[in-house]
Amino acid sequence: MDSHVVSLHNYPACPNPDLASGAGPHSDVSSITILLQDDVGGLYVRANECDKWIHVESVEGALVVNIGDSIAHRVLVSGSKNRVSIPIFVTSAPNAVIGPLPEVLEPGERPTYKQVMYQDYFNYHFSKGHDGKHTIDYAKM
């Protein structure tokens, strides 16, 4: 059984935006994230571990969809405007066991990741702060 978590983010304008961080680099621990952002902008995504951050332009009426932990993202605050975003995180149930599907392994192949309880994975993510795409390391064999 899945769970859904709705967050309401308010990023106040900051007179020194270069000294502030809205949300540090991270990837989500949800199966899917569906995000509504206002027209202020400030959400950036980064492909793999490359250095280039790409601004996700706000498009009126459009939703941003993240699949699993596929993309690192961050939020920079504006020097003059408040920003509001509303992500909906579709997650596993807290007591669900997540891990690699045995069906996708070749005969004799060892999985890279172990089975973990979703609640433990979630708690690990929020215990360490935003550090890019490293939550998955928790499940490494």
Ligand X SMILES: O=C(O)CCC(=O)C(=O)O
Nearest Cα to 7, choosing from 33, 29, 25?
Answer: 33
- Min dist CB 44 to ligand X, Å, is 9
Nearest Cα to 15, choosing from 78, 84, 83, 82?
Answer: 78
| Residues of this chain, 72-101, that bind ligand X according to CB under 6 A | 73, 75, 85, 87
Please tell me whether residue 69 binds Fe ion under the rule CB under 5 A.
no
Question: Total binding residues for Fe ion by CB under 5 A?
Answer: 1
Partner whose binding site includes residue 72, from ligand X, Fe ion, none (CB under 5 to 8 Å by kind):
none
- Min dist CB 42 to ligand X, Å, is 7
Distance CA 94, CA 130 (A): 21
- From residue 54, how far is each of 26, 42, 43, 111 by CA, in Å? 14, 10, 8, 33
Q: Which segment (5-13, 28-36, 111-119, 130-138) binds Fe ion by CB under 5 A?
A: 28-36
| Residues of this chain, 11-30, that bind ligand X according to CB under 6 A | 23, 28
Read out DSSP for 39-72?
A: SS--EEEE-TT-S-EEE----TT--EEEETT-SE
Q: Site residues (CB under 5 A) for Fe ion?
A: 28
Q: Site residues (CB under 6 A) for ligand X?
A: 7, 9, 23, 28, 35, 37, 43, 73, 75, 85, 87
